[in-house]
Structure 1
Amino acid sequence: MAHYNLAAILALAFASSASCAAPSYRGGSQIQWGACDPSVVSDTSLSCGFLLVPLDYQDPSVGTARLAIVKANATGERRGSLFFNPGGPGDSGIGSVNDNKELLLTVSGGVYDVISWDPRGVGNLTTPGEIFCFDSLAQYTTFFNGTIEITGIEETGNFTDPADVKTLLRQAPIMQKKYNEVGQKCLRSSSSKFLKYMGTAAAVRDMVSIANVLDGPDAPINYLGTSYGTLIGSWFVNMFPERVGRVILDGVVDPTAFATQEPSQMFSSQLVSADNIYIALLTGCALTGPSGCAAASDGDGPLEIDAKVQTLLTAAYDATKVNASVPVTSGNIRLDLFNEMYTPTDWSNFMNEEYPQLVQIVNGEAPANVSRALSRRSRLRLMDVIRRESLLERESEPNDSPSYTATAIWCADSVNPRGTTMKAVFEGIVSTAQNVSHMFGAGWPTPFYPCSFWPVRSVERYQGPFNKKLANKILIASNMLDPITPLPSAEKLAGLLGQDAVLVRQNGFGHTTFSAPSSCMNGVFSAYMTNGTLPPNGTVCEVDADFEVFDGVNTADILANIPGTDV
């Protein structure tokens, strides 16, 4: 639940009373497989095609959507299809299969064609495609100039300074007006007619439509979903319990919280592990020492390295107070750092390459070209952190403004507006920074904060229940420490499904178990997918010992040396 994924990452009242029993589209045509668009797919072994489906499954007269689909052929004797969604919302299924084909075939035992698709609102091959509410990055920047949408939220001392709180609350009416205006801009955009036909229920029905064409209308549907893809999965298994085949949900978004709370209220519970993962990064840096981590000096422990990070944040904060046009703010740095919590495979690179550049920029020591490049990178990331997509992919879009696809999906699925004010949202952020995540509670912007002011809800949203009796047992997976889809969410879903689900934990950190290599977890997934074998309840997998987070330091080393959890 995309990259603040999440994780990063919410409906008592629904715009439609549509029933799950609504007819699923059986597909009016076959998928004609052929070569993939080389601008999106570099792996020539993959096949691509399209399928037309109803925009509105309740009212097919509305028109059709066109789904762009990718297939990686089974390497062994084919037993059917495995459908995959990488999350976001807004991540490209096509791009993810291109980048992760070998891993997906490995964990599925090579006996399924791995199928994914760009959901509605993703990329420019599926229709409706990417959602843009501004014509250019320059227009977006001008519109939000002087607001926290550009700078992030500036605060120090875990948001305990009353002056910082006052400064933030002063922006509440400004940002509420801006977000209301953004909603109207989106309604005037070329994508406006599609906004109510986007969302998770549509993604579920689209997947069923593809499965009906490929495997038949009565065949079990096998599915692997990560992050937001687990919300698609939990809706799928409860909307179509009789179609459940072998299903893996990894990095769970709590579906009941999503169905009953506004995203801004739900977010604090998603961050319960984020600061512990930050401490893990500091611990790994300290263990490798100055030869493997640029932020470390001889004899430094995690607290000493944290002090340096806090000094950097304070210097950036102070510089912004003097000059609002600084290249990088403390809010930008926090958001960049939170992005790193997702992927320990990148920690060494971040601490040795980007962190020293940030120090130089904040201290005014960086060459102008480096300062400009990193500033642009940070600002492009602001709306794309959850998307988890590379800057190369974002910059290839014809429109260089931030995509609103993640917002359009989160908010289409969200509870109906409840009159929540931006002041109330900001007060929740202050509380989260003070009580849940000192480092990342004040992250801004995220794709779902506009939901209280978003003017559109989907024609269909699934309310629950989330404890249906399933045709087959499913597998739920989670890291012990996940920055945006924490372990308690996985435990809650597993509890709801009872005997129909088994939860396996990975003793590591990062977003989803795929954030670090684990032969144990790969084996669990493969055994389940190939022969239906589920691990015993309570199974814990370790991260591979030969995976070094920093030079000479693996996950087990960090977990054995991580200090107390208060930052």
Structure 2
Amino acid sequence: MLSSLLLLLLASLSIRLAAADDDELPQFNWTSITPARDLEYHDCYNSQFKCARLLLPINWLDANDTRTTAIAIIKVPATVPESDASFGGAVFTNPGGPGASGVEFVLLDGRNMQHRLSRNQNYEIISFDPRGVGNSTPQSICFDEQLARDAMVLQMLGSGGLNSGLATVRYTHALIKSYSDVCERSDAKTGPIMGFAGTASVARDLVEMVDKTDELRAREGNGRGGGKARLQYIGFSYGTILGNYFTSLYPGRVGRVILDGVADADDYSSRLGWLTNLQDADAIFDQFFEGCFRAPPSACPLKQANDSSAAVIKARVTSYLSSLDTLPLAVMGRDNVRVITGDYVRRMIGDAFKFPIYEFRPLATMLAQAMAGNASALVTAFTAASVPKLKRSVGVGRSIPPYTQINEASQAVLCSDGQDVRDVSVAQWQTYIARQVQTSRIYGAYWSELRFACSSWPFVSNWRFTGPFGSPSPDAGLKDDRPAAPLLFLSNRLDPVTPLASARRMAAGHPGSGLAILEDMAHTVFIQNNSCIDGIIHDYLELGIVPAQEKLCNASCGPWEDCPIERLHLY
């Protein structure tokens, strides 16, 4: 996970960031591309990809506002010429967030996605850094230097979780206020963007990207132009919010839309929202222990020889977490003392729920070692996840790598999309926190911080859409105001932050839509290779067909088995 401002406070619908280190990615100087009002692709990233910077209005609601944003776009070209009969056009994608980089996602996983989507059709994969994010300019950024950003993280680490008591809530509320003031001052100098970063504006940007893609094909003799092109799209986690906004605002521009790991858009855009996300989280916690009890000790060292049930293992771990609440663990790290609290270990456990096949075994080993008195692995994970390396920050100026400010970009979006909460009292926030903890004892305190982070947000969104979220019945005849095909929703049986119930609620607003359920637990379905799910996706993209009823697909492998792992870097 990324070490940056309020990492423990601000996050996305899926808070695990790309596992790859920035040093593993090829480098490219985006300023070498001059932004243009038409798509002009250039070789980039060692000529392995195509990149463009598309100049778009900052304010879509005022034609007289001449300010612009340059959107960074990246493409994996199709493996066949655009004139080939098997060319299926562009599939746009968003990996989640908000605040996640589509550019980084394509660098890491674009070709894998292209391979997974191809059956009889060959697609080009396009993604982008949404306005304010990453390589798009201007950036949603609050700090001039990394040292100041890291100092905020250290203050948060010392405050404890929001369920620690009223004093912690008051302290965090004040910290957020000071942070919001910093953001307001910075945006006045480098923006404006934070008041224009909402998802409705991003959806309108996406309309323009679809049209400009079609215009480029027309210029090259492979498209029709004319501004009525249809979107083909796969959105993950927050990307389902973007897809739902797009479909609800522009139903006549929908070709194919797949939403995987579905968030409830009504809850997302409400006042004290984000209340529907965690209903599966603690059920996954229970499944962690059930699987551990059935697994051999070599796979789950938390299991002891005399354990009679999964409940015994769970009770032992829960007792350990409670002991850290009472007396946090101080451990000497490589260069400093680390203090591990129960709240933070719960966050780490909740993070592991996102991809159990990848995370459950390491989590079990780390917990077993810590409970036996060896917390070195726990400290290593804690340090890598959230402790700034201040010695590396000294002297850093404005040339900050794009993804140190992911949480500033994230907050600019989610606070713009939700209702203004600046008038909510500390007492009301404490009630809200208690409600989240009641839903999930593991993840509730953390999750409450997402909306709490907006408690002093000073920017008024210029375009805030609150629904209705839905669309007319689809029409394959391409009527102007109707989707060309029903939407396809994907969900795991258990998802820690975007539960199946949300997918069902959102699907109900889009007549004729289909829902495929993977009998597994993880955050998003596409993150796991599954032939049943892939077949449904192929049928949908090629033919516009969705399951008439909820389609169940069996899991390919379980977290306590030896599984082939090919992990996408979703958020």
Is the structural similarity TM-score above 0.5?
yes
Q: In the aligned structure 2, how far is the partner of 1:366 from the partner of 1:355?
A: 8
Distance 2:191 2:387 in 1: 23
Deviation of residue 552 (structure 1)? Answer: 5.5
Q: What is aligned with 2:310?
A: 302
2:172 to 171, 175, 181: 175
1:462 maps to what in 2?
Answer: 465
1:525 Cα deviation from its structure 2 partner: 0.6
Pairwise CA distance, 1:231: 0.7
The answer to whether residue 409 in structure 2 is matched with residue 405 in structure 1 is yes
Alignment of 1:90-239 (within 5 A): 90-109=99-118, 110-123=121-134, 125-129=135-139, 131-133=141-143, 135-136=145-146, 138-140=147-149, 142-143=151-152, 150-153=158-161, 168-189=165-186, 190-215=189-214, 216=225, 217-239=227-249
Equivalent position amino acid for 1:423 in 2: A
Alpha-carbon deviation of 1:471?
2.2
Deviation at 1:67, TM superposition (A): 1.1
CA distance, structure 2, for counterparts of residue 429 and residue 64 of structure 1 = 39
Secondary structure of 1:67's aligned partner: strand
Tell me the number of residue pairs that the alignment of Structure 1 and Structure 2 aligns.
493
Counterparts of 2:300 and 2:421, CA distance in 1: 46
Distance in 1 between residues matched to 2:258 and 2:449, nearest whole Å: 27
SS at match of 1:56: coil
Q: Relative to 1, partners in 2 of residues 1:319 and 1:542: Cα closer, same or farther, differing over 3 Å?
A: same
Does 1:33 find its partner at 2:33? no
Whether the aligned pair in 1 keeps the contact of 2:90 and 2:232 (CA below 8 Å) is yes
RMSD of the TM alignment (CA)?
Answer: 3.2
Q: Which amino acid aligns with 2:526?
A: F
Gaps of 5+ in 1: 10-26, 39-43, 156-163, 382-394, 555-567
Render the CA deviation track for 1:207-260: whole Å, top value 9, x for unaligned.
11111111131111111111000111111011111111011011111112233x
Over 3 Å counting, the alpha-carbon distance change for 1:205 and 1:480 in structure 2 is same
Give deviations 1:422-462, integer Å, cap 9, x for gaps: 321222212332x3112221226744322132111321122
Percent identity, aligned pairs only, is 27
List aligned pairs for 1:135-534, cutoff 5 A. 135-136=145-146, 138-140=147-149, 142-143=151-152, 150-153=158-161, 168-189=165-186, 190-215=189-214, 216=225, 217-259=227-269, 261-262=270-271, 265-298=272-305, 300=307, 301-320=309-328, 326-351=338-363, 354-356=366-368, 358-359=370-371, 363=373, 365-366=374-375, 373-380=380-387, 397=401, 403-417=407-421, 419-433=423-437, 435-443=438-446, 446-469=449-472, 470-472=482-484, 473-499=486-512, 501-534=513-546
Query: Given that residues 199 and 417 in structure 2 are in contact (C-alpha distance below 8 angstroms), is that contact kept between their aligned partners in structure 1?
Result: yes
SS at match of 1:439: coil
CA distance in 2, matches of 1:532, 1:309: 47
The one-letter code of the counterpart of 1:477 is L
Partners of 1:402 and 1:149 in 2: how far apart?
18
Aligned twin of 2:396: none
CA deviations 1:267-292 (Å, max 9, x no partner) are 33211000011122222222222111
Partners of 1:348 and 1:185 lie apart in 2 by 39
Match of 1:41 in 2: none
Q: Name the structure where helix makes up a greater proportion of residues.
A: 1
The structural deviation recorded for 1:475 is 0.8
TM-score (norm 2): 0.78
Structure 1 position 478, deviation (Å): 1.2
When normalised by structure 1's length, the TM-score is 0.79
Q: 1:558 maps to what in 2?
A: none
Q: Structure 1 371/80 Cα, relative in aligned 2: closer, same or farther at 3 Å?
A: closer
Seen in structure 2, the aligned counterparts of structure 1 residues 553 and 154 have a Cα distance that, compared at 3 Å, is farther
